[in-house]
Amino acid sequence: DVYRLHRGELDEIKDHPQRSDRLVELNVQEQVFNLAKTSIIQSTWQDEHRPDLHGWVYSLKNGIIKPVFEMQAGAELDPLYKYDDL
């Protein structure tokens, strides 16, 4: 699904290692969104105004952790993903 959602961007990257790295970053971003779409996270955001969600990528090449995506507690979500009865 990640490739399908971001096919246009990924197909423009001709260097295979760079394309793979970007696909990993986009996957991390989508997984942060998936967490935000859960009732447990939305309920905690509503009641306790936490946690912030962070998506990082660890590079096996250089050992560096790269922050890729962050969502603040209570971030606005598409209404399609909001739970009404929390």
In order of their start, the domains of the chain are 2-76 (3.40.1050.10)
On the question of pLDDT at 84 being above 90, the answer is no
CA distance 31 to 40: 15
Chain segment 25-45, per-residue pLDDT in tens: 999 999 999 999 999 999 999
CB-CB neighbours of 53 under 10 Å: 18
Q: What percent of the chain has pLDDT over 70?
A: 99
The whole-chain average pLDDT of the chain stands at: 96
Task: Write down the pLDDT at residue 85.
Answer: 72
Angle CA(13)–CA(18)–CA(24) in degrees, nearest 5?
A: 105
